[in-house]
């Protein structure tokens, strides 16, 4: 599982903390994004250790921040994503 990564599909509110002059207004987005194995390993490890839903959501938020919003570190340095008001969340192996 953790060696191949996961695919996350969600509809949720995404807000941002970023550099001055950028828009931080949250809005509902529907995203489908593959996350690399390191996020799968963290997610399943945290779940096995009895992590709370909020902790699991934080791992997913970090993965979406890194892979979708920051394009693996190629843009939006310093951006921090808030992942709230989750309508649905589907994780596929």
Mean pLDDT per 10-residue section of the chain, whose length is 93 residues: 84 80 75 96 96 96 94 83 93 92
Burial class (CB in 10 A: 0-12, 13-18, 19+), 40: buried
pLDDT of residue 19: 62
**pLDDT, position 2:** 57
Looking at residue 58, what is its pLDDT? 95
Number of CB atoms found within 10 A of residue 14's CB: 20
pLDDT at 78: 80
Sheet with 27-35, strands from edge to edge, namely: 27-35, 6-17, 80-92
């Amino acid at each position: 599982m953790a060696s191949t990564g996961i695919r996350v599909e969600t509809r949720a509110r995404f807000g941002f903390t970023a550099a001055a002059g950028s828009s931080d207004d949250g809005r509902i987005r529907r995203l489908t994004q593959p996350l690399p194995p390191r996020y799968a390993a963290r997610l399943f490890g945290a779940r096995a250790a009895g992590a709370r839903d909020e902790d699991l959501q934080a791992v997913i938020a970090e993965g979406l921040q890194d892979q979708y919003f920051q394009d693996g570190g190629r843009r939006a340095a310093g951006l921090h994503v808030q992942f709230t008001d989750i309508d649905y969340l589907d994780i596929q192996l």
